[in-house]
């Protein structure tokens, strides 16, 4: 076994603060604003993603949108789970949304205590 290879896949961080700071130029007010927009997108997109009568292509597009929003604010676990859901819908295999739902719930809970209070 190679010592430089980590065979244990560590979960992506809920929120990458350094990434968020870079995206918002260290401006706490801007960070609060974009995180609020991200939270609203999560609350809007997740229910639509769960609609089983929605075409797979449309659900893949919703997952792609959520992935982009998550990457924009550094919500890496949501981005990773969104990418997996998108790939599942695009391949026709479908997607188990439970990982995405848990990642989103944990991330939104973390945002409430993230230290960006006014």
> pLDDT tens for residues 51-90?
999 999 999 999 999 999 999 999 999 999 999 999 999 9
Question: Quick check: 66 and 37 in contact, CB under 8 A?
Answer: no
Query: What is the chain's mean pLDDT, rounded?
Result: 89
Task: Give the count of alpha carbons within 13 A of 18, CB side only.
Answer: 1
Q: Which domains does the chain have, with CATH numbers?
A: 17-112 (1.20.120)
pLDDT at 12: 84
- The pTM assigned to this predicted structure is 0.86
pLDDT at 1: 44
Q: At what angle do helices 76-91 and 56-73 cross, to 10 degrees?
A: 160
Whose CA is closest to 66, among 87, 44, 51, 98? 44
User: For the stretch 34-66, what's the b/e string if a residue is b when 16 or more beta carbons lie within 10 angstroms of its beta carbon?
Assistant: bbeebbebbeebbeebeeeeeebeebbbbbbbb
Residue 115 binned pLDDT confidence (cut-offs 50, 70, 90) = low
pLDDT at 6: 52
pLDDT at 118: 41
């Amino acid at each position: 076994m190679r010592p430089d290879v980590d065979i244990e896949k560590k979960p992506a961080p809920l929120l990458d603060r350094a990434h968020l700071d870079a995206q918002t130029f260290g401006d706490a007010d801007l960070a609060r604003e974009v995180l609020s927009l991200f939270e609203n997108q999560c609350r809007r997109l997740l229910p639509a993603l769960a609609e089983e009568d929605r075409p797979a292509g449309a659900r893949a597009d919703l997952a792609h949108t959520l992935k982009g929003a998550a990457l924009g604010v550094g919500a890496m676990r949501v981005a990773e789970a969104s990418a997996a859901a998108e790939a599942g819908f695009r391949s026709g295999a479908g997607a188990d949304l439970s990982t995405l739902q848990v990642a989103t719930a944990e991330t939104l809970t973390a945002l409430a205590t993230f230290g960006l209070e006014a």
